[in-house]
A and B are shown apart, each in its own frame.
Chain A
Amino acid sequence: MTTPARARYDAVIVGGGHNGLVCATYLARAGRSVLVLEAADRVGGAAVTREFAPGFQVSAGAHLLHLMPPALLNDLDLGAHGLKFAAHNLPTVALSADGQHLSMQAGGGSGARLSAADARAYTEWRRLMRQISGALHPLLNGAPPRLGTDAWSDRKSLMRLGWRIRRLGRRDMRELLRIGLMNVHDLLEDRFESPQLKGALALDAVLGTNYGPRSPGSVLSLLYRLAATGGTEVLSQPQGGLGALSAALGRAATAAGAEIHTAAPVERILVKDDRASGVALASGQQVLAPVVVSNADPKTTFLGLLGAEFLDAGFVRRITHLRTRGFTGKVHLALDRLPKFPGLDPESLRGRLLVAPDADYIERAYNHAKYNEYSAVPMLEVTVPSLSDPSLAPAGSHVVSIVVQYAPYELNEGWATGRQRFTDIVIDTLGAYAPGLRECVRASELLTPADIEREFRIHGGHWHHAEIAFDQFFMVRPVPGATQYETPLPGLFLCGAGCHPGGGVMGLAGRNAARQVMNRAA
């Protein structure tokens, strides 16, 4: 690493993930001197592009951009900092073994087998989801309120929440209050006929979580995902993968005046006079700052970097019990050539391909994960990014990036032997929709949650840092006592996915945290 220019900053940010970079940008724009310390040799956290086989590049963590609100993208002016899109407004396609795929895009669903009743129900579904996510979106744009305080700002934000829900109108409000904590299986069962449609919608509800479609709370996770964008989710693929987004975020932060150092792992958060006072790097160097913002997950932050001795026992217990184990894996395939996907037109093939033929299929895939087994027949979210962005693979070759569920953090049989078996299962599962796939695979890579933990330094390897569940959500995220991006230790703030509103490449936690830091300092 290079040496920080100064011994003292207004704020030190631990971790240069997308949230850390966004937070740094806003603090620097407000005139603070900001230092970002990233352990890896490049910024981005789990939004990085890297080589996984000679000549093959892949977005190793997140592989599509869809949650970052357009307003934030514009505000950061990432275009000026080099962000280009290889593809924009990609379709989502629910694959079917017989080639009768169901394509879903902003306009609505289309596919050979969508009945008239389902088409109507789907239109109504989209209307309702747009309404609800429109009402909930503003919640994601600020710190969640604290309960039981006399602070006017908390009361105001609670009242605003109530008002927004009321403004939905009686019918939609009732529906929101009913379905909010429901399971998505029942909700879809009540509304749709097509197993394919139900499978595709259920996938969105459980992706990245420790839920099956029948788990109550899966609707909440779906609403959360929709609320992030206010109901107008647009799938994009940055040119050069998600790492290019991170690079642009890094340039935006630097342009705003922040100083970024990579290969600079932080070992400890320093405490002086019961306040955070700076950080000690693994190199032994210390950097002082009255504000330390951690982009690391809450367990790493409090138990690893800070130390339980600075916290009270009850708080430590809450942090210890925070559910942070991931159930989502990632598979990367390097292909010599692209096999045929019968029934899929070239435009659809560039999109997000879902292998979740029906909701029960997902539930069965989930059953195994509860007992530390991998899914025998897993659920997949597949992209072939090299179709839109040939720079990712040698000419004529292709990269397939697959989010796979469910892969437990700890596998009964051990990942040493399970790794190849599960990778084969994933290839064969996708192979059912692309005959001959296996013969095209030159190299493959599986990232289990344990690998994700290691590579991205996320305790438990959960891509939201902590499970999205009602008891770890909004006002109680990550845990009571550390909400609103603040912690029990004055001067120490959180800005990662473990905070409201959670993970996915969204950037809101970083921006909200920056605002909170400035509020508190003002």
Chain B
Amino acid sequence: MGVTNRYDAIIVGAGHNGLVNACYLARAGLKVLVLERNPFVGGAAVSRSLYDGFTYSNCSYVCSLLRTEIIRALALPQHGLQIIPYEGGCTMMRDGGHLAVYDNHDALRREIARHSPHDAEAYERYVRDMLRHCRFIKPLLLREPPDPTSFRPRDIHELMFLGKHFHNLGEARMYDTLRFWTMSCADMLEEYFESEIVKAHMAGSSIIGTALGPRSAGTAYVLLHHYMGSIDGAVGAWGFARGGMGAITQALASSFKASGGEVRVSAPVEQIRVRGGRATGVVLDDGEEISAPVVVSNMDVKRTFLKTVAAEHLPAEFIDQVRKFKIRGSSGKLNIALDGLPSFPAIPQGSPAMRGDLHITDTIEMLERGYDDWKEGRWSRAPYVDMLIPTQIDPTMTPDGKHYMSVFVQYCPYQLADGDWTDAKRQAFGKTVIDAIGAHSPDFKDLILHAEIRTPKDIENEVGLTEGNIFQGELTFDQLLFNRPVPGYAQYRAPVRGMYMCGSSTHPGGGVMGAPGANSAAAILRDLGRKV
């Protein structure tokens, strides 16, 4: 470690956005170093073996949002990335009924018609409208948001682009878009569907990772955020990365190294150094200093500016805004090793529905009540779960005949009303979730070999995400576009020259999307006068 090289750019944090950012910079010819606190790369997109022979997608567990442009530009398939779309999913009701979901449109229509012929008809309208909203937002994802208070030509140009893009929708669609962006998911779905189970199924995506209930305004957008990805052109499709979500970051790291980049793991950055208003490099926790004229933080904005940069280098107003940025822990996770495939009597045998995302809920009210629990500082008594058994499709993650189940849980607070998290409370939380699943699967509990229970606090400790928020900041309107992460600093540039942000705290936000990393790289290269 004695030889300290000089780098053109240092990226703090080897999450997917940090690696995407690093790849683009390295490809532009910069000498780039990525520093990662953990002994492995990937941030929250990792595959880890925590139980003998089993691989867990420890945090993030499914894939859809990763931008196709990035997959192509960084040649990720050549570096081993395979994404397998799943063909269905299922929402199980407490009365034993179910709503299966298929990627086959006609099959799905028939399934919805089983609950309500009206809704099957409405589903056509719903899909058409959602696709239109996706088309509207897509060109905005890989762009730097304009600063509406600025008179710089670039900002005015971008604002005009936005205006024109919006205007092109035509009057009626403009209103629809304005309304959609600001509606609650419950109200939005009410305009299409009548069946409680159909609405509840759709509403699940509107609360994942979000400290809001489905009846809160703005959750229609969160639903769209989960809809706007695609796999091989199939918009709204979700899939597994073969080998777990770590396969994505492994492919990114491999692509980065192939471009001449360097990654150091187990290298926690203690401080980002600033001299004369310029970022000059980083200091590691062992005191080692590494210099570079460009420092990019993949950490969330609170961790970056409240913990890693000395306050004296930052405008007081900026720090105040960063403090106000809402990063709320609202989700937990269970990773479960299973001795065999559990049966869910509600789901037809052999149905592809079993191989996708499974949920337990019947009404939007149940989701909303789960949120009320969270507001009161307790985990949901009847939690919303998004569970998947990827090993039905991807056998590489477990020994033969065994299975891995990923269980995402909404809502689980970061701070409990009755004090800090303890091991006993964590176990009680896990039991709530396991019991909820067990109620729908008679053999589930007996098949459990190992269960890792993760509260928002655990996610924060391991990944470094403040409060364990999976989006590095709530996806509410006051924290989107030019407000993300804070007004006036939405263009990936920190208030310190040479310092940038590239995490999900920046536009267009969280999920394994990579867009913040790519947009940030474009901003850096533009500032350096390089070709983007």
Q: Which A residues contact B (CB, under 8 angstroms)?
A: 146-149, 166, 170, 173-175, 177-183, 186, 190, 214-217, 317, 321, 323, 363, 367, 370-371, 469-471, 475-476, 480-481
Tell me if B182 and A317 are in contact (CB < 8 A).
Answer: no
Residue of B nearest to A215 (CB): B216
Write out the residue numbers on chain A whose beta carbons fall within 8 Å of the beta carbon of B178.
470-471, 475-476
Write out the residue numbers on chain A whose beta carbons fall within 8 Å of the beta carbon of B212.
216
Interface size of B in residues (CB-CB distance below 8 Å): 38
Our pick among A149, A179, A475, A480 for the contact of B478 (Cβ within 8 Å) is A179
Write out the residue numbers on chain A whose beta carbons fall within 8 Å of the beta carbon of B148.
173, 177
Write out the residue numbers on chain A whose beta carbons fall within 8 Å of the beta carbon of B149.
166, 170, 173-174
- A-contact 0/1 string along B211-235, CB 8 Å cutoff: 0100111100000000000000000
Write out the residue numbers on chain A whose beta carbons fall within 8 Å of the beta carbon of B118.
none
Tell me, yes or no, whether B482 is within 8 Å of chain A by CB. Answer: yes
Minimum CB–CB distance for A318 against chain B, Å: 8
Minimum CB–CB distance for B97 against chain A, Å: 22
Give the tally of cross-chain contacts (CB within 8 A): 98
If the complex has contacts A170-B149, A323-B187, are A181 and B182 also in contact, measured as CB distance less than 8 A? yes
C-alpha spacing A188/B260, complex, angstroms: 49
Minimum CB–CB distance for B175 against chain A, Å: 4
7 additional contacts, CB 8 Å, given A170-B149, A216-B212? A147-B174, A177-B148, A190-B323, A363-B375, A371-B369, A471-B183, A476-B175
C-alpha spacing A214/B324, complex, angstroms: 15
Tell me, yes or no, whether B372 is within 8 Å of chain A by CB. Answer: yes
Tell me, yes or no, whether B368 is within 8 Å of chain A by CB. Answer: yes
Q: Which B residues contact A (CB, under 8 angstroms)?
A: 148-149, 167, 169-172, 174-176, 178-180, 182-183, 187, 190-191, 212, 215-218, 323-324, 326, 365, 368-369, 372, 375, 476-478, 482-483, 487-488
Minimum CB–CB distance for B277 against chain A, Å: 20
- Per DSSP, chain B at the interface is helix
Cross-chain pairs A/B with CB under 8 angstroms, 26 sampled: A147-B171, A148-B167, A148-B171, A148-B174, A149-B171, A181-B217, A181-B478, A182-B477, A186-B326, A214-B216, A216-B212, A216-B476, A217-B182, A217-B218, A367-B372, A370-B365, A371-B369, A469-B182, A470-B178, A470-B179, A470-B217, A471-B179, A471-B182, A480-B175, A480-B176, A480-B179
Write out the residue numbers on chain A whose beta carbons fall within 8 Å of the beta carbon of B375.
214, 363
Of B171, B175, B216, B369, the most chain A CB neighbours within 10 A belong to B175
Of B178, B323, B365, the most chain A CB neighbours within 10 A belong to B178
Our pick among B169, B190, B369, B488 for the contact of A174 (Cβ within 8 Å) is B488
If the complex has contacts A178-B483, A371-B365, are A147 and B215 also in contact, measured as CB distance less than 8 A? no
Write out the residue numbers on chain B whose beta carbons fall within 8 Å of the beta carbon of A178.
478, 483, 487
Our pick among A149, A177, A183, A215 for the contact of B483 (Cβ within 8 Å) is A177
Write out the residue numbers on chain B whose beta carbons fall within 8 Å of the beta carbon of A170.
149, 488
Write out the residue numbers on chain B whose beta carbons fall within 8 Å of the beta carbon of A182.
476-478
If the complex has contacts A177-B148, A177-B487, A470-B182, are A215 and B191 also in contact, measured as CB distance less than 8 A? no
C-alpha spacing A311/B375, complex, angstroms: 43
Tell me if B171 and A146 are in contact (CB < 8 A).
Answer: yes
Going nearest first, the 10 A-B pairs with the smallest beta carbon separation are A148-B171, A470-B182, A174-B487, A480-B175, A181-B477, A471-B179, A217-B217, A182-B478, A216-B217, A147-B174
Tell me if A476 and B488 are in contact (CB < 8 A).
Answer: no
Tell me if B215 and A181 are in contact (CB < 8 A).
Answer: no
Our pick among B169, B170, B187, B478 for the contact of A471 (Cβ within 8 Å) is B187
Tell me if A370 and B368 are in contact (CB < 8 A).
Answer: yes
Tell me if A147 and B175 are in contact (CB < 8 A).
Answer: yes
Our pick among A181, A321, A469, A481 for the contact of B191 (Cβ within 8 Å) is A321
Write out the residue numbers on chain B whose beta carbons fall within 8 Å of the beta carbon of A183.
216
Write out the residue numbers on chain B whose beta carbons fall within 8 Å of the beta carbon of A476.
175, 178-179
Tell me if A216 and B487 are in contact (CB < 8 A).
Answer: no
Residue of A nearest to B365 (CB): A371
C-alpha spacing A178/B175, complex, angstroms: 21
Residue of A nearest to B167 (CB): A148
Write out the residue numbers on chain A whose beta carbons fall within 8 Å of the beta carbon of B326.
186
Of A147, A321, A475, the most chain B CB neighbours within 10 A belong to A147
If the complex has contacts A317-B191, A471-B182, are A370 and B215 also in contact, measured as CB distance less than 8 A? yes
C-alpha spacing A182/B478, complex, angstroms: 6
Write out the residue numbers on chain B whose beta carbons fall within 8 Å of the beta carbon of A475.
175, 178
